Structure 1
């Protein structure tokens, strides 16, 4: 039997879309949302015309990547919360899953272009807020069990992660990935509740990250 042409066309369209999203995720995580669309098409193995048929402009592509990735991180965060009896272990697992989480932070806090595109989008904001709820739960639980220092908040952790991403430069992707893992490890050690240098001011909360609330 010959495959239905319309079914094949839909399958090709889905495959092209998935390839474009995968390529855009990888490139956005490494370089931000300002990368030329031609570079994304080349990495996805599709023509520029195909890319623009799936995503008519950069805004549409950035939003699609953000929605897909935020949903994945939220699913992972909730799964970790359900599996881990220790909130500290849950927080550590979430932070070490750096590939998906790095892109969320890249789009939500680091990339100015992405911030402009995503600002005010109710669905993106809903997913972002739900991720922060899980992060807040991890923080409060880890502090209650005495494993996370008491003078930090979820906002401090998000800002530390964003600062790490802003500084991440390396000669190769392999070195960048290794450096990211090492820096996350150092960051986790710095968050642990052993005696350390007192921090100035007050803990930065997830609400402090939202400029619209000021």
Structure 2
């Protein structure tokens, strides 16, 4: 984290920082973390000079967005645990929220921009471990209740969330929009001790995939395209 993160800010400076991080979060999800700094300043409604005073380097801003992202994950986890009637329903809610288009796109952008930061940056690592501990409690509670299959671990669940935020860039637009929700429910149903959900959407046929280019077969995960959200 930057040294400015440990120094108390005046109220107006704090508001500006929050607006910048919020604008960057939105734009990273929309266009990736390489979006011009000037565009972030415009979205935040602050001057470019203000942005650079708070974040002299792009990586500092990206790390601030990453810290904000983890805080949001922790808040979502805490809310799900408090508001749902049991741990399994809390986990299902959390996975759906993590895989939602906006949050999923932000996760993909941060993975590209900071591939090693969640391991190399001590502050991000500590925050991520705290969030993982929250998820771990839900996993063990759901397994103790007999709702979640017993042969998976918390790491399995977190890696599945990462996979669910991936996107095959050459799929036809109508498939790109429908598949995340469909495969999310298929994944959740596979995690349950007993199947509980009906898949949304309709089965994808071989002819459906035939309308996509051959590059789909070997495409890497990318951020969702703008028309797929």
- When normalised by structure 1's length, the TM-score is 0.68
d(CA) in 2 for partners of 1:30, 1:146: 39
Which structure 2 residues correspond to residues 142-153 of structure 1 after superposition, within 5 A? 142-153=142-153
Post-superposition offset of 1:171: 9.3
- 104, 122, 131: which one aligns with 1:102: 104
d(CA) in 2 for partners of 1:70, 1:33: 16
Tell me which residue corresponds to 1:124.
124
Post-superposition offset of 1:44: 2.4
d(CA) in 1 for partners of 2:60, 2:158: 25
Post-superposition offset of 1:177: 7.8
The question of whether the paired residues in 1 share the 8 Å contact of 2:25 and 2:106 is answered with no
Tell me which residue corresponds to 1:199.
none
Tell me which residue corresponds to 2:206.
none
The question of whether the paired residues in 1 share the 8 Å contact of 2:27 and 2:40 is answered with yes
Post-superposition offset of 1:193: 1.9
Tell me which residue corresponds to 1:33.
33
SS at match of 2:49: helix
Post-superposition offset of 1:102: 3.4
The question of whether the paired residues in 1 share the 8 Å contact of 2:80 and 2:90 is answered with yes
- Structure 2 vs 1, CA of residues 97 and 42 (structure 1 numbering), >3 Å: closer, same or farther? same
d(CA) in 2 for partners of 1:122, 1:162: 21
d(CA) in 1 for partners of 2:141, 2:83: 14
d(CA) in 2 for partners of 1:56, 1:11: 20
Which structure 2 residues correspond to residues 43-62 of structure 1 after superposition, within 5 A? 43-62=43-62
Gaps of 5+ in 2: 1-9, 196-229
The total of aligned residue pairs comes to 183
Range that drifts further, 122-131 or 140-149? 140-149
d(CA) in 1 for partners of 2:21, 2:178: 24
1 or 2, which has the higher helix percentage? Answer: 1
d(CA) in 2 for partners of 1:70, 1:50: 25
d(CA) in 1 for partners of 2:176, 2:49: 32
Tell me which residue corresponds to 1:72.
72
- Structure 2 vs 1, CA of residues 184 and 159 (structure 1 numbering), >3 Å: closer, same or farther? same
Deviations 1:12-69 (A, max 9, x none): 4333322211111122234443333233223323333222122111121112112223
d(CA) in 2 for partners of 1:176, 1:64: 30
